[in-house]
Amino acid sequence: MERLYFEDFSPGAIAEYGATDVTAEAIVDFARQFDPQPFHLDEEAARETMTGGLIASGWHTAAMLMRMNCDGFLGATAAQGSPGVEELDWKKPVRPGDRLSVRRTVLGARASSSRPAIGVVEFLFEVLNQERETVMTQKGVIFIRRRAAEGGEA
Amino acid sequence: MIALFYEDHSVGQLSQIGSHRFTREAILDFARAWDPQPFHLDDAAAAASLFGRLCASGWHTASVCMRLMIDHRAAHRAAAAAHGEALPPLGVGAGIRDLRWLSPVYPEDVIAYSIEIVSMRETRKPQWGLIGIHARGAVEGGRDVLSYFSQALVARRMG
């Protein structure tokens, strides 16, 4: 697999990837572990709540984005984790039957002041549903190794 | 949340919501499902990474915080219901700001979580108030690992 380094992420670049089918079973599984509220656990109980039906936990959607990022590019990238996420917004409910994908925009790229081998790439991730509606946005940075620093590669 | 209704909260309220031990097995399970990066899955790869050794996905650390918040609130709701109080409807969260993974969570770390009410405001809908919280996680007696700010709708006490 071709390795991607800091230098491969140019500000302004946009990429699209991912196709996660959201099932009621997956929504309930995640919720039982991490977010056991009625609107994430049971279709019938959810109808009585402000969401009007079963919806995915926002943390489940964040986890699905992380997985799509791993499969979509991080698995082939010399990534070194993230110090955090500036903004995470849940724009629309994610419901059973939705198919989610990701639009990734590189917002900025800079050298790390403390670690010369590492670059800091700022990303905007927009999670889209099958209607191309934005259901979640996330803005944050990922540490990525610089090419020159890895095994003396050019 | 600490209390049932918007009006029962006040800015500055701090609650310890519980502690959680991150087992190696749970760290691996979460990473396999949601965040299969080498430093969450493999000791040798983790040793060569910035983390130094195998550590939990930050989304795992944050998701456990959500779970403890829900359990904390559920205990309050159950106590109120036992006293015959009518329970208010549950609101949903709107978003997160400044989510920081301040240091790695390693296998067998026990993380203590807390939430502090940092803002309160009414909304255009008379039945809902908006409460801002600061959530934090730290190794018991040690380093901070998680910090974020979030806002959630909480039912108001109607007439």
**ipTM at complex level:** 0.94
**Residue B156, token pair as written in the block:** 């108001």
Bridge partners of A109, per DSSP, are A121
The count of C-alpha atoms lying within 13 angstroms of the C-alpha of A110, restricted to the half-sphere facing its C-beta, is: 7
Task: Look at residues B6, B10, B8 and name the one whose alpha carbon lies nearest to residue B125.
Answer: B6
Distances (CA, A) of A46 to A41, A105, B4, B90: 8, 34, 19, 11
Does the distance separating the beta carbons of A84 and B101 come in below 8 Å?
Answer: yes
Let me know: does B73 contact B88? Beta carbons within 8 Å.
no
Q: By the CB < 8 Å criterion, does B101 face chain A? A: yes
| Of B135, B133, B136, residue with least CA distance to B151 | B133
What is the average pLDDT score of chain B?
Answer: 93
| Chain B residues whose beta carbon lies within 8 Å of the beta carbon of residue A117 | none
pLDDT tens-place string over residues B69-103: 999 989 888 988 998 988 888 888 889 999 999 99
CA distances from B8 to A27, A49, A87, B117 (A): 31, 21, 28, 11
List helix spans (H) across chain A. 24-34, 38-41, 43-47, 58-72
How close, in Å, is residue B10 to chain A by CA atoms?
Answer: 24
Report how many Cβ contacts below 8 Å link chain A to chain B: 98
Interatomic CA distance for residues A5 and A13, integer angstroms:
14
Interface test with A, best of B17, B65, B66 (most A CBs within 10 A): B66
Structural contact between residues A117 and A146, judged by C-beta atoms closer than 8 angstroms: yes
Whether B41 and chain A come into contact, CB under 8 Å, resolves to no
Averaged pLDDT for residues A121-141? 98
pLDDT level of residue B15 (50, 70, 90 thresholds): very high
Q: Is the pLDDT of residue A5 over 90?
A: yes
Phi, psi dihedral angles at A45 (to 5 degrees): -65, -35
